[in-house]
Amino acid sequence: MITTFSNPALFFKSSIYLIKASSVILIMSRKMLIDGDVGNVSEDNQFDFDLFVIGAGSGGVRASRFSAQYGAKVGICELPFHPISSEVVGGVGGTCVIRGCVPKKILVYGANFGPEIQDAREYGWQVNENVDFDWKKLLHKKTEEIVRLNGAYKRTLSNAGVKLFEGEGRIVGPNEVEVIQLDGTRLSYTAKHILIATGSKAHRPDIPGKELAITSDEALSLDELPKRVVVLGGGYIAVEFASIWRGMGATVNLCFRKALPLRGFDDEMRALVARNLEGRGIILHPQTNLTRLVKTEDGIKVTTNHGEELMADVVLFATGRIPNSKRLNLEAVGVEVDQAGAVKVDEYSRTSVPSIWAIGDVTNRMNLTPVALMEGNMFAKTVFGNEPSMPDHSNIPCAVFCIPPLSVVGLSEEQAIQQVDGDILVFTSTFNPMKNTISGRQEKTLMKLIVSAEDDKVIGASMCGPDAPEIMQGIAIAIKCGATKAQFDSTVGIHPSSAEEFVTMRSVTRRISASGKRKTNL
């Protein structure tokens, strides 16, 4: 039955009531997620800010800016700028921009030119035998760029209406933060919501003589280019800096605990990375740890657990990172952390205290800059955008910028064996890139697809070779959309390119049956 109104005013008035009632229901449902008990919701005007963020790295800046765009009054604090972080210095932009991904990639570009110049001779370029490299010039250019980016991030916050405070932030209550300025002055602010986005910091293993070693922070700002380097670690940072220094002409010894570097990545890719590192002249020491560092007249004497002695100008500890949560006063306010110091959060990035949230490396979920950006976006949508949104940590692509680089998305072969119930199809292509056929460089590219035999979906892809990260970003979209192997096969390739191999792998390299799955522990 359709109800009609003879009086237009009555119709208008009834519509307003319906709209108001719907709005109340919507707001109440949102507040139940955000504030817990609806009856205990505080009025916004009781607080100095709707949101106060501790940490102005990639995640913190993204969350602040997007929250402000939703109409929130936002404050954020960060330590003063310095290329090398400590408990009293940091900088807007955070680890990635100032002492991580960005400056590292600049050095990777610089390191690539050395081998490229060698290869250029076979392409007809008459290059002098002795080509000089000016480390100080590259370092200066790198510093100029991170200073520029630091300023750009500050302007981004200002343009969004976010109030920036310089100093160390700590939480003193469920709705109160304290900012300790350089001169010791303490400023106190209240906020309806507090977001922890303090990232992580380099871990230093407890080895005698550890004070003689550096971390990635210092490695990006060395006054002099070292001639001899020992790197301890087998992860991203270790293999990337090994590649950088070797590309610039240093002698590099890479020591790691497992049989292969890059634990957690596809074993076949790890093996190729190891071969490529050795092919570039890096000396690998698998299943090796360091036991002592001693300062001598000739440099730093490094002793391994096998009794081997190595001499170095620089020793880099690249043994992982730990959540930067120790100085936040979390225990006193009831915010739970795990044994590593990572802030525990639920699927919406909310901590054990309902008004306090956390994103990025400090939560130790998936420690990548684009993930922190995504988590910051989802936080802003959930809390201020009236759109509860959980971060999606599935099928996130990543890259290791060794030379040549490795990039992956989805499941590795080993992960698929563990997680997929049915049979798995593995497609691989190993080839010499066209560029190498002229230069004579003996360095293979490997590409790999993992397919679920049951539904033909591509559930993993990986590549080690030139331009791998650029190619994998496009592959990631396809996998995120649930593309099948048949759809890959029906896609016309770009010729001549390495990327076309992803759509021309027709023959199954191996089929792994559900009943015969093997395990690995390399």
pLDDT digits (tens, 9 = 90+) for 13-29: 334 333 334 443 333 33
Residue with more model confidence, 7 or 171: 171
236 is in an annotated binding site: yes
DSSP string computed for 18-69: HHHHHHHHHHHHHHHHHHSSGGGPPPGGGSSEEEEEE--SHHHHHHHHHHHH
What are the tens digits of pLDDT across the range 352-397?
A: 999 999 999 999 999 999 999 999 999 999 999 999 999 999 999 9
pLDDT tier at 518 (50, 70, 90 boundaries)? low
78 is in an annotated binding site: no
pLDDT of 517: 62
Residue 43 pLDDT > 70: no
**132-145 mean pLDDT:** 96
**428-448 mean pLDDT:** 96
pLDDT tier at 130 (50, 70, 90 boundaries)? confident
**168-183 mean pLDDT:** 97
Residue 70 pLDDT > 90: yes
235 is in an annotated binding site: yes
Percent of the chain with pLDDT over 90: 88
What are the tens digits of pLDDT across the range 179-211?
A: 999 899 999 999 999 999 999 999 999 999 999
**127-139 mean pLDDT:** 91
Q: What is the mean pLDDT of the chain?
A: 91
SS (H, E, C) 75-109: EEEECCECCCCCCCCECCCHHHHHHCHHHHHHHHH
Rg (CA), the chain: 27
Distance CA 429, CA 14 (A): 67
Tell which residue, 103, 97, 107, 105, has the closest CA to residue 199. Answer: 97
Distance CA 85, CA 90 (A): 5
233 is in an annotated binding site: yes
Catalytic residues: 495
pLDDT of 128: 83
Given a contact cutoff of 8 angstroms between Cβ atoms, the answer to whether 81 and 92 are in contact is yes
pLDDT of 34: 43
Q: Phi and psi for 373 in degrees, rounded to 5? A: -60, -45
348 is in an annotated binding site: no
238 is in an annotated binding site: yes
Distance CA 157, CA 91 (A): 13
Helices 135-159 and 58-69 cross at an angle (nearest 10°) of: 20
* DSSP assigned state of 354: T
Residue 456 pLDDT > 90: yes
pLDDT of 11: 37
What are the tens digits of pLDDT across the range 87-102?
A: 899 999 999 999 999 9
169 is in an annotated binding site: yes
